[in-house]
Amino acid sequence: MRSKRKAAPWLHMIPAFLLIGAIIIFPIVYTAYISFTNMNLFHWDDYSFIGLNNYVRALFKVDTGFLSAIGVTLIWTVLNMGIQVALAFFIALGLNARGLKLARFYKTLLMFPWAMPAYVSILLWKVGIYNSEFGLANKLLGLFGIDKINYLSRNVPAFISCMVLNLWMALPFMIMTFDGALQSIDKSYYESAKMDGAGFWVSTLKITVPGVRPVMTPAVIMTTFTTFKQFDIIYLLTQQKGSLSGATLQTVITYAHQNAFVSNNYGLSAAVSMIIFVLIIAFSLFMNRGLKEEA
């Protein structure tokens, strides 16, 4: 009886772990295996073990370019997450305001960007908004008589452009999660707070924030990682083959892609992947405080 009780939680997890094992863990293990071989264009089927050779070469790539890529990635993650969480929180609060009859309507509209496949949104923005000749952004500027701007040709404007797009794409999920989290707070708390004469800010700080925290923590952490590993936006906006925009913005992932993956050297790129994985583990240890439960 006792042992059954002990095994119970693990039994619950078998199906999930089977899936995760096959789709997430096995590929990582396999990639680690490839990283010790010389699998590349010239040794496609006849690859052999070459020990840590690939790692030595990969670590040589840890040059100034790579270090600045780490810096860009951190700034990118922090800025995006900060703005995203703050904006989403207040928007969700607004949506849950008493007496806002159109809340459902607004919510649906605000979800629209989420409903679009990522590459479609990115191309839409690239051509429809940021394009220097036809983009909406420059057309609107034109209405005010301001000269055309090339949004993607230099690093700082390109970074901001990518960030705006990322916020546009990511906010709907945040708003929706905050909205769900707000629903989980017992309304009676607010009633009694009101009795005690607490104002909006006080009840927000004392009831809402602690109330949404347990639900939001995992969502925020996971979004942080998604932001950290964001590739499509920066790649498609500024580095797509045949239409480089001129900006040389690099995050860790785009840097790795440009430096290891285009060369079709699978051993080397696997080693780079493993190094990125180690970086992510380090990053998550750093973030770990966030996961501590308030139990």
Partner 1 sequence: MKRILSGILCGALITGLFGGCGGETGNVGANAVGTAKNESAADTAEEETQPKGEAQVIRIWHDGDEAIMETIAEEVNSILEDDMVSVQFEKKTGLTDQLQLYGTDEVNGPDMYFYAHDSLGTFAELGILAPITDLITEKDEGYLLPMTVEAGTYQGIQYMLPVYYETLLFIYNQDLWEGEIPDTTDGLYDYMTAHTDTEAGTYAVLNQHSTAYNVAPFINGFGGYIINENAKPGLNDAATIEAITYNQKFAALQADGDYNTINTLFLEQKAAAIIGGPWLISGINEAGIRYGIKSLSEFTLPNGEKLAPYSGIQGVGVLKYAAENKKDAVSKVLLALCDESVGVALAQKANCAPANQQSYADTDVVDNEMIMAMRETAETAQPMPNIPEMSVMWGPTESLLAAVNKSGEDVQTAAETYQKEAETAIADMH
Partner 2 sequence: MKKKKVRRIFGIAFLNLAFMILCFVGLLPILYALLLSVSEGASALSSSLFAASRGFTLENYRSILVEEPFLRWLFNSVILSVGTMVVAMACSVVAAYAFSRYRFCGRMQALRGLLVLNAFPQILTMFAVFRLFRTLHLLDSRAGLIFVYAGSMCIFSILNLKGYFDTIPVEIEEASKIDGATELQLLWKIILPLARPAIIVTAVMVLIYVWNEYLFATTFVLNESSYTLAGGLYQLQANDYSRSWPLFSAAAILVSVPILVIFFVVQKHMVSGLTAGGVKG
* Min CB(1)–partner 1 separation in Å: 26
> Is 195 near partner 2 (CB under 8 A)?
no
Each residue 38-57 as x (binds partner 1 by CB under 8 A) or -, in order, gives --xxx-xx-----------x
3-state secondary structure of 233: helix
> Is 275 near partner 2 (CB under 8 A)?
no
Please choose which of partner 2, partner 1, none residue 246 contacts, taking the beta carbon within 5 to 8 angstroms, the exact cut-off set by kind.
Answer: partner 1
3-state secondary structure of 37: strand
DSSP state of 206: I
Please choose which of partner 1, partner 2, none residue 62 contacts, taking the beta carbon within 5 to 8 angstroms, the exact cut-off set by kind.
Answer: none
> Is 148 near partner 2 (CB under 8 A)?
no
220: tokens are 């925020």
Please answer whether residues 271 and 58 qualify as being in contact, where contact means their C-beta atoms are separated by less than 8 angstroms: yes
Please choose which of partner 2, partner 1, none residue 1 contacts, taking the beta carbon within 5 to 8 angstroms, the exact cut-off set by kind.
Answer: none
DSSP letters, 235-276, are: IIIII-TT---S-----HHHHHIIIIITTT-HHHHHHHHHHH
Q: Using the minimum distance from each CB to partner 1, give the nearer residue, 204 or 258.
A: 258
Please answer whether residues 35 and 273 qualify as being in contact, where contact means their C-beta atoms are separated by less than 8 angstroms: yes
- The span from the CA of 193 to the CA of 214, in Å, is 21
114: tokens are 């989420």
Neighbour count for residue 218 (Cβ, 10 Å): 12
Each residue 228-267 as x (binds partner 2 by CB under 8 A) or -, in order, gives xx-x---------------------x------------x-
Each residue 85-104 as x (binds partner 2 by CB under 8 A) or -, in order, gives ------x--xx-xxxx-x-x
Residue that the structure tokens 């990639």 belong to: 31
Among residue numbers 207 through 246, which ones bind partner 1 (CB under 8 A)? 241-246
Q: Which stretch binds partner 2 (CB under 8 A): 41-49, 53-61, 62-70, 115-123?
A: 115-123
Q: What's the one-letter identity of residue 77? A: T
Please choose which of partner 2, partner 1, none residue 244 contacts, taking the beta carbon within 5 to 8 angstroms, the exact cut-off set by kind.
Answer: partner 1
- The span from the CA of 225 to the CA of 94, in Å, is 27
Tell how far CA 139 is from the center of its chain: 30
Of 111, 118, 155, which Cα lies nearest the Cα of 231?
A: 118
* Min CB(98)–partner 1 separation in Å: 47
Among residue numbers 17 through 56, which ones bind partner 2 (CB under 8 A)? 17-20, 22-28, 30-31, 34
Please choose which of partner 1, partner 2, none residue 188 contacts, taking the beta carbon within 5 to 8 angstroms, the exact cut-off set by kind.
Answer: partner 2
Q: Using the minimum distance from each CB to partner 2, give the nearer residue, 1 or 64.
A: 1
Tell how far CA 5 is from the center of its chain: 38
Each residue 55-74 as x (binds partner 2 by CB under 8 A) or -, in order, gives --------------------
Please work out the total of residues on this chain that contact partner 1, with binding judged by CB under 8 A: 39
